[in-house]
Amino acid sequence: MMNLAINDHRLTGPGPQNAALRDYDSVRRAIAFISEHWRAQPTIEAMADAAAVTPDELHHLFRRWAGLTPKAFMQALTLDHAKGLLRDSASVLDAALDSGLSGPGRLHDLFVTHEAMSPGEWKAGGAGMTLHYGFHPSPFGTAIVIASGRGLAGLAFADPGEEPAALADMQRRWPRANYVEDRAGTSALAQRIFDTKLWRADQPLRVVLIGTDFEVRVWETLLKIPMGRAVCYSDIAARIKSPTASRAVGAAVGKNPLSFVVPCHRALGKSGALTGYHWGITRKQAMIGWEAGQVGMN
């Protein structure tokens, strides 16, 4: 059953998210090359060769996938850009609290309404819960969407061939839950998450956070970071009134079960370093570059 879902022809059929998934395969090759050679400011020709496309195809690829030229995308991955995202990191969270999650300055954001499961429900390891899952195309590779009756409960990503391992990783988080493959039932959630035309404040995405009280507080703080900005772990720690817990905050960020929706990719080291990412540093770079296009980086 799992393999049928992974290899389902609908993952590679027509449609904007299927097209984005196909583009991402070339994008991730280009990002890997840029990450290794960005100090030398590689040429478009060299980037295209790494992505196995022509320079003209690379230009159209990045324009289509991220709304940026390859050069602008490469700039979005530099340390200087990361430091710019971090500018006034602490005040970003203060401003988000003042304006609310859906304030007027959040025009590019995926609007979310959330609730947390009780500590008892989390400790039960998902016992008594039925979680529906499906594999869907996305701009960041194949997405694994996991839904409960109360809303989106999990979102993970996988590169080709890694889908079973990524699903197993998510299932280990709630080992006693009952898992039902339901691609049709999770399809609308996937579309709501990745189709920016559906990002509407009046129709927020329902999310349920399943973790410890500390983890949930960290994830709720991540939800306040606007697209096109970033914060450092120490400012998150200060925001949840645990100023000495930067390392614990980092661990909680790493355990975030809702990649992209709860934007843990917007948490950076104080120096601007991207640090680790549970779904791969290349994917974190892809999300940051893609978001630069969404907010209109020139």
Active-site residue set = 264
> Rounded to whole angstroms, how far apart are CA atoms 220 and 231?
14
> Rounded to whole angstroms, how far apart are CA atoms 114 and 117?
10
> Rounded to whole angstroms, how far apart are CA atoms 289 and 67?
10
> Rounded to whole angstroms, how far apart are CA atoms 220 and 101?
10
The phi and psi torsions of 132 (rounded to 5 degrees) equal: -95, 140
| Positive or negative: CA dihedral 226, 263, 174, 120 | negative
Angle, CA 152 vertex, CA 91 and CA 68 arms, to 5°: 55
> Rounded to whole angstroms, how far apart are CA atoms 170 and 168?
5
> Rounded to whole angstroms, how far apart are CA atoms 261 and 194?
10
Residue 213 burial (CB count, 10 A): 10
> Rounded to whole angstroms, how far apart are CA atoms 6 and 17?
15
Q: Are 85 and 230 in contact (CB under 8 A)?
A: yes
Q: Are 246 and 234 in contact (CB under 8 A)?
A: yes
CA atoms within 13 A on the CB side of 60: 6
| Positive or negative: CA dihedral 95, 97, 102, 108 | positive
Chain length of the chain: 298
